[in-house]
């Protein structure tokens, strides 16, 4: 690895400290250069204006091994007017319903219990507890999605979560028997304040469950494109056990899920809580150890694998272009924005990106300004290759686009390696 490739920009090197243990950060996990916010799609009338870019420089703490981005952009800028409504995804709704069935029966939740969800979005999950007659409360900072939750009968407090919110909720509503947080732990810059808040809110025998993408899968499958500014931390069992432990909480169970390229669902309780620790905790701890998650070198060698994958993606696109073939992308989501910007891909290599979301069609990708169209355009233009940027949904997309295969279009996924699906 060349020293130049890992050189740390001076401004960034000046001050950063680990958001959990406060050790100075000096080890780079990966540097993806400058990138725009992944949800800042541009209308045509904004194309003459400049866009804000922020560093996507990811550190690993040499003391606790928490992998993290600095808070380049505040949560208030990203999450207070949020465009993502969870209820739009049918597979995510099923995931939520299955979870509520499991949690209600495993932890005996009923009319005398209270479930609190942090980052409850539009009430997509809590509605299933409401159906079961379990009292619920949502906590959600985005007023527009919280309004949709209240309209479907899910009481929701419009606030960010932390110590202060937790204290107020306990005073007004009482403690929580179950605290749920899906895809929120990684999105919190003030990690200690957040976890301390859960300790305050949790009833003595209560349970916390949280889901987040698993860092081990990110590393093993070079999923560098799951890195973007909304994701402040990249979490392993090792890191989360330390953070919970520091705030009087203990993990007693863990499940590995397929969502978001491989996620963990952790189960926490008070350190002295009644829940017995399962074997799955020990098993995963051992597998993370065996994969080297307690050795700095495992983390610092990740960057070169990402740079190698960038060259692989570009070699494919350049070869295709040289051979006179056309490539279009599929999936104008955060992953696609990171991959396209980091690799420096522009419209000369990927003509357009197709996306099912009508909110994005007619707009332009942030940074690269590649236009976004309806997937209908793929059958009309019959490209040689469809580069599936939303590779976590590749089975769904390949089934849905099976008809364009007959037109001669080949399906390609970029992660963990460029692969053409015959």
Q: Residues near 5 by Cβ (< 8 Å), separated by ≥ 6? A: 303, 304, 307
Binding mask 198-237 for Zn ion (x = CB under 5 A): ----------------------------------------
CB of residue 125 to Zn ion, shortest distance in Å: 31
CB of residue 40 to Zn ion, shortest distance in Å: 30
Nearer to Zn ion, 63 or 377 (CB): 63
Q: Residues near 356 by Cβ (< 8 Å), separated by ≥ 6? A: 374, 375
Q: Is 150 in the site for Zn ion (CB under 5 A)?
A: no
How many CA atoms does the CB half-sphere of 36 hold within 13 Å?
Answer: 20
Q: Is 369 left (phi over 0), alpha (psi -120 to 50) or beta?
A: left
CB of residue 172 to Zn ion, shortest distance in Å: 34
**For the chain, what is the radius of gyration of the CA atoms?**
22
Q: Is 64 in the site for Zn ion (CB under 5 A)?
A: yes
Stretch that binds Zn ion, among 39-47, 61-69, 184-192, 212-220 (CB under 5 A): 61-69
Q: How many residues bind Zn ion (CB under 5 A)?
A: 8
Angle between helix 302-322 and helix 334-343 axes, rounded to 10 deg? 80
Nearer to Zn ion, 22 or 400 (CB): 22
Nearer to Zn ion, 118 or 243 (CB): 243
Cis peptide leading into residue 15 (ω within 30°) = no
Give the C-alpha separation, 362 to 383, whole Å.
19
CB of residue 61 to Zn ion, shortest distance in Å: 3
CB of residue 34 to Zn ion, shortest distance in Å: 25
Residue with the two structure tokens 């527009």: 144
Q: Is 296 in the site for Zn ion (CB under 5 A)?
A: no
DSSP 341-404: HHHT--TTTS--EE-S-TTTTTSB-TTT--BEE-THHHHHH--SEEEES-GGGHHHHHHHTHHH
Nearer to Zn ion, 66 or 343 (CB): 66
CB of residue 23 to Zn ion, shortest distance in Å: 5
Nearer to Zn ion, 292 or 416 (CB): 292
Q: Which of 141, 140, 202, 192 is nearest to 167 (CA)?
A: 202
Contact of 326 with 350, CB cutoff 8 Å = no
Nearer to Zn ion, 61 or 238 (CB): 61
Stretch that binds Zn ion, among 66-74, 185-193, 383-391, 396-404 (CB under 5 A): 66-74
Footprint on residues 23-52 left by Zn ion (CB under 5 A): 23
Nearer to Zn ion, 63 or 280 (CB): 63
Strands in 263-270's sheet, in edge-to-edge order, are 156-157, 136-139, 115-118, 176-182, 202-213, 263-270, 249-257
Stretch that binds Zn ion, among 17-25, 38-46, 108-116, 194-202 (CB under 5 A): 17-25
When binding is defined by CB under 5 A, the residue of 32, 37, 57, 61 that contacts Zn ion is 61
Q: Which of 34, 35, 52, 45 is nearest to 364 (CA)?
A: 45
Q: Residues near 214 by Cβ (< 8 Å), separated by ≥ 6? A: 235, 236, 237, 256, 262, 263, 264
CB of residue 28 to Zn ion, shortest distance in Å: 15
When binding is defined by CB under 5 A, the residue of 8, 12, 13, 21 that contacts Zn ion is 21
Backbone phi, psi, residue 241, to 5°:
-60, -40
Nearer to Zn ion, 61 or 389 (CB): 61
Nearer to Zn ion, 21 or 398 (CB): 21
Nearer to Zn ion, 25 or 38 (CB): 25
Stretch that binds Zn ion, among 20-28, 130-138, 186-194, 322-330 (CB under 5 A): 20-28
CB of residue 62 to Zn ion, shortest distance in Å: 8
CB of residue 242 to Zn ion, shortest distance in Å: 8
Distances (CA, A) of 30 to 18, 342, 415: 16, 11, 16
Backbone phi, psi, residue 253, to 5°:
-160, 160
When binding is defined by CB under 5 A, the residue of 18, 148, 337, 386 that contacts Zn ion is 18
Neighbours of 248 (CB within 10 A): 15
The site for Zn ion (CB under 5 A) is made up of 18, 20-21, 23, 61, 63-64, 66
């Amino acid at each position: 690895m060349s020293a130049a490739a890992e050189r740390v920009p001076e401004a960034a090197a000046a001050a950063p400290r680990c958001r959990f243990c406060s050790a100075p950060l000096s080890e780079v996990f990966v540097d993806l250069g400058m990138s725009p916010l992944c949800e800042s799609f541009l209308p045509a009338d904004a194309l003459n204006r400049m866009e804000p870019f922020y560093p996507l420089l990811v550190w690993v703490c040499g003391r606790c091994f928490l992998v993290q981005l600095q808070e380049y952009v505040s949560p208030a800028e990203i999450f207070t007017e949020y465009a993502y409504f969870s209820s739009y995804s049918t597979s995510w709704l099923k995931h939520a319903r299955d979870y509520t069935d499991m949690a209600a029966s495993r932890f005996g939740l009923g009319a005398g219990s209270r479930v609190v969800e942090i980052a409850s979005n539009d009430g997509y999950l809590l509605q299933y507890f409401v159906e079961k007659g379990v009292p619920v409360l949502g906590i959600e900072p985005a007023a527009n999605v919280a309004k949709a939750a209240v309209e479907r009968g899910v009481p929701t407090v419009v606030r960010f979560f932390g110590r202060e919110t937790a204290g107020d909720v306990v005073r007004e509503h009482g403690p929580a028997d179950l605290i749920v947080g899906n895809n929120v732990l990684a999105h919190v810059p003030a990690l200690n304040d957040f976890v301390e808040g859960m300790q305050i809110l949790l009833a003595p025998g209560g349970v916390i469950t949280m889901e987040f993408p698993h860092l081990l899968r990110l590393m093993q499958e070079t999923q560098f494109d799951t890195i973007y500014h909304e994701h402040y931390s990249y979490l392993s069992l090792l890191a989360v056990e330390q953070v919970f432990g520091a705030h009087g909480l203990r993990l007693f169970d863990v499940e590995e899920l397929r969502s978001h390229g491989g996620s963990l669902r952790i189960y926490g309780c008070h350190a002295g809580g009644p829940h017995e620790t399962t074997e799955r905790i020990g098993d995963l701890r051992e597998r993370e150890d065996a994969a080297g998650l307690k050795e700095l070198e495992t983390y610092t060698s990740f960057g070169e694998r990402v740079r190698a994958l960038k060259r692989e993606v570009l070699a494919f696109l350049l070869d295709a272009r040289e051979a006179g073939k056309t490539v279009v992308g599929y999936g104008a989501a955060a992953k696609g924005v990171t991959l396209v910007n980091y690799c420096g891909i522009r419209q000369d290599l990927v003509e357009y990106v197709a996306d099912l979301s009508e909110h994005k069609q007619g707009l332009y990708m942030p940074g690269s300004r590649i236009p976004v169209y309806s997937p209908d355009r793929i059958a009309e233009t019959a490209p040689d290759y469809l580069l599936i940027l939303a590779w976590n949904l590749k089975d769904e997309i390949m089934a849905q686009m099976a008809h364009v295969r007959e037109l001669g279009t080949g399906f390609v996924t970029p992660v963990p390696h460029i692969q053409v699906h015959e």
